[in-house]
Amino acid sequence: MPVKSANSEAVRAAVQRILDGDPLRAPNCDLLDANLVLEAGVSRATLYRCEEPMITWRLAKEAAAAEAIKALGARKVEDPSLDLTDELLWNTARIDYAAFHKMPEEIQLAWVDMKTAVPWRSRREHVGYNADQVIETLVNQLFGATLALRRAHETIEALTEQVNKLGGNIVPIRPTQGGPETSG
């Protein structure tokens, strides 16, 4: 169903007023669809059909979230005891749960990185952390190390057998401090 140009213009103007921090009807400048509905004076259905202003609205929410993540990262550096919660992000960005979870994956992952960062690791190491995968990887590495140790023991046993077969006829070759010995 096409949107009346008057409704589209009302939504466009409402987006601009909220982004400028000067709403006429909305209670605050939070980037909430409910505020935009109040500010534009249209129904939610009409709001969501206004494609062009809604793209601007979505991009404004994404920019607010990205800026909030950067700001909270700086605050965390200043105050390592700061508890980075989703609610803190939403309040800082002036968005809500639904808006955040509709955002592009890179913004969501940036927040996960920030929340799970450990000072001695880069934040990228934390993305996609899966305890089961870590355990499986460690088990595989342990198995590989066990095989390598077994082979080393087998090699030592084989060399020991050869030494025993030769009896006392073995003279170790040791380099001297000055280099290889020369016979004259």
pLDDT for res 139: 72
- pLDDT computed for residue 87 by the predictor: 95
Query: Does residue 108 share a domain with residue 158?
Result: no
* Per-residue model confidence as pLDDT tens digits over 9-63: 999 999 999 999 999 999 999 999 999 999 999 999 999 999 999 999 999 999 9
Considering the domain architecture, whether residues 44 and 116 belong to the same structural domain is answered as yes
| pLDDT for 184 | 45
Given this model, what pLDDT does residue 128 score?
53
Pinpoint the alpha helices (H) of 32-176: 33-40, 44-49, 51-78, 86-93, 97-101, 105-116, 131-166
* 107 lies in the same domain as 135: no
What integer pLDDT is reported at residue 123 of this predicted model? 47
Say which residue, 2 or 129, is predicted with more confidence. Answer: 2
Give yes or no for a contact between 23 and 2, defined as CB atoms under 8 angstroms apart: no
Same domain for 97 and 139? no
Q: What are 104-132's pLDDT values in tens digits?
A: 998 998 898 888 875 544 445 545 556 66
**pLDDT for 137-171, tens place per residue?**
667 777 777 878 888 889 989 888 888 887 767 77
* Selected residue with higher pLDDT from 172 and 163: 163
The answer as to whether 67 is a domain residue is yes
Q: Tell me the pLDDT band of 134, cut-offs 50, 70 and 90.
A: low
Residues 112 and 145 placed together within one structural domain of the fold: no
Question: Do 121 and 138 reside in the same domain of the chain?
Answer: no
| pLDDT in the model for residue 120 | 46
**What's the mean pLDDT in 177-184?**
54
Residue 180 contacts by C-beta under 8 Å, 6 or more apart in sequence?
none
Residue 3: count other Cβ atoms within 10 Å of its Cβ.
Answer: 19
pLDDT of residue 143: 72
Q: How far apart are CA 47 and CA 123, in angstroms?
A: 38
- 102: which 2 tokens? 């509709």
Q: Do both 11 and 82 map to the same domain?
A: yes
CA-wise closest residue to 32 among 120, 117, 91: 91
Q: Is residue 183 part of a domain?
A: no
Whether residues 75 and 52 fall in one domain: yes
- What's the total number of domains in the chain? 2
- Domain assignment of residue 150, given as a range: 130-167
| CA angle centred on 7, ends 5 and 11, rounded to 5° | 115
Q: What distance separates the 2 farthest-apart alpha carbons in the chain?
A: 108
- Tokens representing residue 127 in the block: 């993305």
Sequence-separated (6 or more) residues with CB below 8 Å from residue 22: none
Where does the pLDDT of residue 181 fall: very low under 50, low under 70, confident under 90, or very high at 90 and above?
Answer: low
| pLDDT greater at residue 181 or residue 4 | 4
